[in-house]
Amino acid sequence: MSEINYIIPELFLSVSIMFLLMMGVFKKKSADLIYKLSILVFFISFILIFIFQFTLDQPVHLFNDSYVVDYLSSFMKTLVLISTFFIMLASYNYIKLTGINKIEYPILLLSSSLGMMVMISSYDLIVFYIGLELQSLSLYVLCAFNRDNLRSSEAGLKYFVLSALSSGLLLYGSSLIYGFTGSTNFEVISNNLNSLNEGSVFGIVFILVGLAFKISAVPFHMWAPDVYEGSPTSVTNFFSMVPKIAALTVFIRFLFVPFLNAFEQWQMIIIFISLASMIFGAVAAIGQKNLKRLMAYSSIGHMGYALAGLATGSNEGIQSSISYISIYLIMNLGIFSCIYCLKRKEIFYEDIEDLSGLSKNHPLISISLLILLFSLAGIPPLAGFFAKFYIFMSVINAKMYTLAIIGLVSTVISAFYYLRIIKIIYFDDKKEKFDIEKNFGLNFSIIFSTLIILIYFLYPNILLDFISRIQII
Amino acid sequence: MNFPILSVVTFLPLFGSFFIFLIKTHPNNENRSIKYVALFTSFVNFLFTLYLWFSFDLSTSEFQFIENKQWMKGYFNFQFGIDGISILFILLTAFITPLCILSVIKSVKVRVKEFLIAILIMETLMIGVFCSLDLVVFYLFFEGGLIPMFLIIGIWGGPRRVYSAFKFFLFTLLGSVFMLIAIISIYWMTGTTDVIQLYQLTIPEKYQYILWLAFFSSFAVKLPMWPVHTWLPDAHVEAPTAGSVILAAILLKMAGYGFIRFSIGLFPLASDYFTPLIYFLSVVAIIYTSLVALMQDDMKKLIAYSSVAHMGFVTIGIFTLTKQGLEGSIIQMISHGLVSAALFLCVGVVYDRFHSRLISSYGGLVNIMPKYAFIFMIFTLAALGLPGTSGFVGEILILIGIFQKNIFVAFLATTGVILAAAYMLWLYKRVIFGKIKNVELKKLFDLNKIESFVLLSLAVFVLFFGFYPEPLLKTINVSITNLINNHETNIAYFLQGEINQ
């Protein structure tokens, strides 16, 4: 098979982006059509991934070893595509009613996803950086997409400035690594990296800082709450799910391929980032009033748990992180789909107080939120518990008891703010009714995510079977 | 036997609650169909557990009705099985739940559907706790109970329900996360979380102590033991009657069961080592909470504190590690399950009529509600352990057990019996006897049919087991003997190891 065949999904995505862009320019009032076509494009690329990448037995290295297609990359790309597919389905009404349904919106989502797919598969510093920039540039625009809204523009600018800075750090780290190892290829770096050399350790630190920024881990999380709150909800939804998949994959790739020799050096950094994110995510979310802002803090905390798996430095740890993020995605999809439902006369509400007494007016949305929030808090027998359970299995196997204890105690602290939302939904007095949502896509994603979370405990093997095939080391 | 009777018993209520979920409700209607479905499900489940009891083989200490399904490949299996100890708790759960549902048929008026769903899910989770023979599965059920209970307290509770629900949830969760760490550690140490296999293995001595403490932190909060008992009075006072009944009758027993099944079974050395700690905490619990109970002006709070004291007896009995002590504590748990359920129902009866739980607002009820006064008396006497009630059997066995081990502790524990008599009789006197102080009380009417039925069926068992505890003792006898034998062989094994060194 020629090399090009392996990247047909990416090629298809790029061609469709150009095609849709042309279509948007030449055909008047085609925004709605393009939106629907992009959903289709996501779906087709998802199928293409299955055909051309998922079925491979052996990792394939392409283009002079700068691009890799292996099980990890195919799995994560699938996650990226499915998540975006569902986000677009669920946010269709939101996009239309808030007036951000312009032709650029779906195209930016597509190009950002393409950037992530490149990031996920990259096996070379330069290819990685190209992918990163493609996704970041699309995200800057997406943040500020609601341009008449002051908060949205502010979010876009803030994200742009900080993200550009972090990309700069990342690039500087890459150049240091290149300087000390003499190559941009991961495999060569891995062979040449001398973990005692201060220059390369500096490079590692800079790259990790850049990546930690992308995944919004403490202490590089400052942008997250403002950007989450300011961006349109659909973009926040995208932000809280998809870039995390890509960033986590890149984390795995960097830590376990080029930097594997420097395990001792980066382990401390990852443990610190992970602990700090868990604690900060749990404590800072307590006082929040805005749902989207709260989800920002909650996602910071969750990234802490996902990184804890990586800190073990074992295959099990990687697998637990990946199962964590998979389950986290489903929960977040459900929560945000519920947020889209908080609409009264074309105005969307996003304060926690607006949920007051929701259970009396909308029992079905409330029960979904109840299940999803308990799952986020990690209460058995919901899927969120298993996500944490896998993480702590691998953490305790690596004998990192302090990390396990602090992690579990911060679970209890974070349970408090999830309980607070449940309290507002179930125990407080009811307010005016919200509009009843009839959009099929939205209802489908709520029911889909809630059901998966609820019955996950019956068949934990399905996810485990997929993930146990990911072997990095 | 191929028929998965334990899974049926466990998941039948869940199935029923799913049915209820599908039934449409009408806000102004009485929603009878929902209540009948709930009642029917829980009653059928009780019949199933009775069948379980009759087909249970009393002559062996092996686990019976074992079901084993692959669950998380390569890690854990979904394993169910019961022995003489767990079957009693399953019976208790299945017996209390229909009574609970009967009792709420009139008193819960808002969101009946959700309430019954929560109670049935609760039943599934509680039976699951007593059935599971895998630590992870146990943890799943043990912790899962937090969700419905949180909602029961929070939605249908009293004025301070939010505070109580949060306190209940966070206290228990914090206690349990340490148990989770311990369970995972055990898995990596021994390669299994299957309880039957773990009984055969021995966990290295140096880890036993820390693991025991981790399990202890969870069970102590749930039981609850002094000084982490403070969530219980709050939760009881604010919870609706049915919530209090489930909480007192079954939820607390999960921790006692956990002590017997896991703490003693898995960590024999540590159990011996920490016995003084348990004695100390239990004695403090018995005396201190009894004194606190004496001074309560809220009836539910008084009974809640008395629960803590009774649970103190239970822990003493368990950790005497004698046959009498262990048997006594199991009977005490069953008896307390019946008696405290009945007492909370009794409080519920007057609360439904008069909407006050304060002792001072009652007085002289015997003149208006003679039937109520009579039934309340039976349970008051059972709570203070009068001979002829099931409370007596449990306490006397526990005291016999502890007298063999430590006379000083036995002496202090016995004072608890006297204090129990003091607070219970004083409560009874203030509520039932005397003149009618409050004119409003004259409007009250005596027990209706449903209430009489519920309370009488509890009273029958309290008296029956008081006079004839043999059925209970016979059921647990072999399992307890086996448990103690295992414990002694384990201790001997470790002693032998030390001598060899």
Pairing of strands B76-82, A343-344: unpaired
Share of chain A above pLDDT 70, in %: 100
Q: CA A374, CA B149: separation in Å to the nearest integer?
A: 13
Joined together, the tokens standing for residue A250 give 């890149």
pLDDT at B240: 87
Average pLDDT over residues A117-122: 91
A426 touches chain B (CB under 8 A): yes
Average pLDDT score over chain A:
89
pLDDT recorded at residue A85: 92
Place of tokens 């790309």: A77
Residue A167 belongs to some domain of the structure: yes
State how far the Cα of B480 lies from the Cα of B484, in Å rounded to an integer.
6
Q: Do B72 and A464 touch (CB under 8 A)?
A: yes
Please tell me the distance from the alpha carbon of residue B33 to that of residue B15, in angstroms, as a whole number: 16
CA distance B473 to B352: 37
- Please check whether residue A473 lies inside any domain of the structure: no
Neighbours of B58 (CB within 10 A): 15
CB contact under 8 A, A392 and B181: yes
CB-side neighbour CA atoms (13 Å) of B61: 13
Instruction: Say yes or no for a CB contact (<8 Å) between A379 and B147.
Output: yes
Indicate the DSSP class of residue B159. Answer: T
- Contact flag B173-A426 (C-beta cutoff 8 Å): no
pLDDT of residue B386: 87
Task: Give the CA dihedral A196, A199, A203, A205, nearest 10 degrees.
Answer: 60
CA distance linking residue A372 with residue A378, whole number of Å: 10
**Residue A324: is its pLDDT beyond 90?**
yes
Average pLDDT over every residue of A10-15: 92
Instruction: Please give the torsion angle defined by the CA atoms of residues B421, B424, B428 and B434, in that order, rounded to the nearest 10 degrees.
Output: 60
Query: Going residue by residue through chain B (501 aa), what tens digit of pLDDT does each one get?
Result: 567 888 888 888 888 888 888 887 776 666 778 888 888 898 999 999 999 888 888 888 888 888 888 888 778 888 888 888 888 899 999 999 998 888 887 777 778 888 888 999 999 999 999 988 889 999 999 998 889 999 988 888 878 888 999 999 998 998 888 999 999 999 988 888 888 888 888 788 888 889 999 999 999 998 888 888 888 888 888 888 888 888 888 888 999 999 998 888 888 888 888 999 999 999 998 999 999 988 888 888 899 999 899 999 999 999 988 888 999 999 999 999 999 999 999 888 888 888 888 888 888 788 888 888 888 899 999 988 888 888 899 899 999 999 988 889 889 888 888 898 999 998 888 888 878 777 777 777 887 888 888 889 999 999 999 899 888 888 888 888 888 888 888 888 888 877 776
**Closest partner CB to A427 (pick from B155, B177, B178):** B155
Could you tell me how many CB contacts below 8 A there are between chain A and chain B?
A: 81
Degrees to nearest 5, angle at CA A158 with A153 and A162: 155
Residue A169: the pLDDT is: 92
How many angstroms separate the CA atoms of A207 and A195, rounded? Answer: 15
Q: Give B324-337 as a DSSP string.
A: HHHHHHHHHHHHHH
Would strands B76-82 and B64-72 be described as parallel, antiparallel, or unpaired?
Answer: antiparallel
Q: Which residues pair with B358 in a beta bridge?
A: B298
Tell me if B152 sits within 8 A of B239, measured CB to CB: yes
* A412, A461, A465 ranked by CB distance to B177: nearest: A412
Phi-psi region of A182 (alpha: psi -120 to 50; beta: other; left: phi over 0): left
- Average pLDDT for A278-304: 90
pLDDT grade for A307, boundaries at 50, 70 and 90: very high
Q: Which domain holds residue A243?
A: 3-467
Name every chain A residue with its beta carbon within 8 A of the beta carbon of B121: none
Query: Is B70 in a helix, a strand, or coil?
Result: strand
Q: Quote the minimal CA–CA distance from B460 to chain A in Å.
A: 37
pLDDT bucket at A276, cuts 50 / 70 / 90: very high
Nearest beta carbon to residue A461 from set B72, B150, B187: B72
pLDDT of res. A322: 93
| A381 near B CB under 8 A | yes
**A397, B188: Cβ pair inside 8 Å?**
yes
> How many separate domains does chain A show?
1
Contact A415 B72 (CB under 8 A): no
Task: Give the nearest partner residue to A427 out of B73, B161, B173, using CB atoms.
Answer: B161
Q: B406-421: string of b/e by CB count within 10 Å (b at 16+)? A: beebbebbeebbebbb
Cα atoms in the Cβ-side hemisphere of radius 13 Å centred on A73: 28
Interchain CB contact of A447 with B (< 8 Å): no
- The reported pLDDT for the residue numbered A376 is 92
